[in-house]
């Protein structure tokens, strides 16, 4: 397969999206460049090529043009700062595709000065880390938002999580050196007294950009890791009104944390913390995540969403 140069890649990936922002939404070229992580000259070049190729006439043509409209509607309905959608895909590979989109979005920030990027818990977060390819010698740092992340993220990141990341991925990585959930509140309290745990948790709250997975209320590997063992546990959570979780903290349909004993055993940034953080990006998709996503959005737990086209359409109904 012939390798595309940078200009051809940008034309293929962004032409319809840039045209939609410019001609339909009325954004300036500078605003489009900032949103997509491109320079203004590249935006101008893509717009010119779009006109010459016939992609732009009276209407905007292109496979991804309708996604921009859906993104705009999501932001309007749910008061998001930004939304990013991947095209309709099979449910079999939904986490992989959303994780790839999240990695590409995150890489826009890696060249910026003094960025602190937080990474939470979730299989989609793991897929995101596997797709990080960009590397510079900027002052960007990474930090975990909860315990247990190094055992859950991809091997590619976990192997590089002490001190500076190696093999070209040269970013400092700060880790909460504990499990996500421990056996008792007493153990949690003891660990929370450790200076290093306190230091990293406090740093996590200052992250410039944070990525969190959003879990559904269903049996899964995570479900058992959070301390729930049986169908009865799941039924109890349902009766209590749980619809989803972030970092093992279950919330109801309005995005409010439930009063559960298991929450006293978590070592993580809490839902109340997320609401105060600068920019929190939720990455999740699929029909089984709909109620969890609605609760997340109603509770103002995230300011930006990366999901799939079909899920976005359902969230707009």
Amino acid 146: pLDDT:
94
The answer to whether residues 61 and 47 touch, using CB atoms and an 8 Å cutoff, is no
* Residue 160 reports pLDDT greater than 50: no
What residues have CB less than 8 Å from 84, skipping those under 6 apart?
A: 71, 101, 105, 304, 305, 306
**In terms of domains, do 180 and 301 share one?**
yes
Could you tell me if residue 148 is inside a domain?
yes
Amino acid 4: pLDDT:
46
Percentage of the chain lying above the pLDDT 70 cut:
79
**In terms of domains, do 33 and 88 share one?**
no
Could you tell me if residue 18 is inside a domain?
yes
**In terms of domains, do 173 and 239 share one?**
yes
**In terms of domains, do 301 and 226 share one?**
yes
**In terms of domains, do 183 and 205 share one?**
yes
Could you tell me if residue 188 is inside a domain?
yes
To 10 degrees, the CA torsion angle through 79, 85, 89, 93?
-90
Could you tell me if residue 134 is inside a domain?
yes
Could you tell me if residue 60 is inside a domain?
no
* Residue 243 reports pLDDT greater than 50: yes
Q: Which two tokens stand for residue 228?
A: 């729930």
90-96-102 Cα angle (round to 5): 120
**In terms of domains, do 45 and 80 share one?**
no
pLDDT class of 93 with cuts at 50, 70, 90: confident
Amino acid 151: pLDDT:
63
Per-residue pLDDT tens over the stretch 248-293: 999 999 999 999 998 999 999 999 999 999 999 999 999 999 999 9
Q: Which two tokens stand for residue 239?
A: 């009766």
**In terms of domains, do 70 and 31 share one?**
no
**In terms of domains, do 105 and 218 share one?**
yes
* Residue 202 reports pLDDT greater than 80: yes
Q: Which three-class secondary structure state does DSSP give residue 10? A: helix
Q: Which two tokens stand for residue 203?
A: 């740093």
**In terms of domains, do 22 and 160 share one?**
no
Percentage of the chain lying above the pLDDT 90 cut:
45
Amino acid 165: pLDDT:
40
The answer to whether residues 110 and 133 touch, using CB atoms and an 8 Å cutoff, is no
Could you tell me if residue 145 is inside a domain?
yes
For the chain, give the mean pLDDT. 82
CATH number of the domain encompassing residue 121: 3.40.50.1360
* Residue 48 reports pLDDT greater than 50: yes
**In terms of domains, do 83 and 228 share one?**
yes
Could you tell me if residue 1 is inside a domain?
no
pTM (two decimals): 0.77
pLDDT class of 214 with cuts at 50, 70, 90: very high
**In terms of domains, do 200 and 291 share one?**
yes
Average pLDDT over residues 8-23: 71
Across 68-77, 155-164, 244-253, least confident range: 155-164
Amino acid 222: pLDDT:
61
Amino acid 235: pLDDT:
86
Amino acid 272: pLDDT:
96
Could you tell me if residue 191 is inside a domain?
yes
Amino acid 255: pLDDT:
98
Give the range of the structural domain holding residue 236, as residue numbers without chain letter.
65-315
Per-residue pLDDT tens over the stretch 113-124: 778 999 998 888
The domain total for the chain is: 2
CATH number of the domain encompassing residue 18: 1.10.10
Give backbone dihedrals phi and psi of 260, rounded to 5 degrees, phi first: -125, 145
Q: How far apart are CA 30 and CA 36, in angstroms?
A: 10
**In terms of domains, do 69 and 45 share one?**
no
Average pLDDT over residues 30-44: 85
């Amino acid at each position: 397969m012939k390798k595309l140069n940078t200009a051809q890649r940008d034309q293929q990936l962004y032409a319809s999206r840039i045209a939609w922002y410019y001609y339909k939404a009325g954004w300036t070229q500078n605003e489009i460049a900032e949103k997509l992580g491109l320079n203004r000259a590249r935006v101008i070049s893509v717009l010119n090529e779009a006109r010459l190729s016939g992609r732009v006439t009276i209407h905007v043509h292109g496979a991804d043009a309708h996604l921009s409209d859906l993104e705009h509607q999501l932001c309007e309905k749910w008061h998001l700062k930004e939304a990013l959608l991947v095209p309709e895909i099979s449910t079999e590979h939904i986490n992989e595709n959303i994780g790839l989109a999240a990695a590409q979005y995150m890489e826009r920030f890696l060249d910026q000065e003094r960025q602190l990027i937080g990474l939470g818990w979730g299989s989609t977060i793991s897929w995101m880390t596997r797709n990080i390819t960009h590397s510079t010698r900027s002052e960007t740092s990474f930090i975990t938002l909860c315990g247990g992340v190094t055992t859950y993220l991809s091997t590619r990141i976990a192997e590089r999580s002490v001190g500076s990341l190696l093999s070209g991925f040269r970013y400092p990585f700060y880790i909460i050196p504990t499990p996500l959930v421990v056996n008792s509140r007493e153990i949690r309290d003891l660990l929370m007294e450790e200076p290093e745990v306190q230091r990293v948790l406090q740093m996590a709250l200052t992250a410039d950009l944070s990525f969190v997975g959003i879990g559904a209320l269903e049996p899964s590997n995570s479900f058992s890791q959070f301390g729930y063992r049986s169908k009865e546990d799941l039924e109890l959570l349902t009766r209590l009104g749980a619809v989803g979780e972030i970092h093992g903290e279950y919330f109801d349909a309005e995005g409010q944390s439930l009063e559960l004993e298991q929450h006293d055993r978590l070592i993580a940034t809490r839902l109340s913390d997320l609401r105060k953080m600068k920019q929190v990006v939720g990455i999740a998709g699929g029909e089984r995540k709909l109620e969890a996503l609605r609760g997340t959005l109603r509770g103002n737990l995230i300011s930006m969403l990366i999901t799939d086209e079909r899920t976005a359409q359902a969230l707009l109904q």
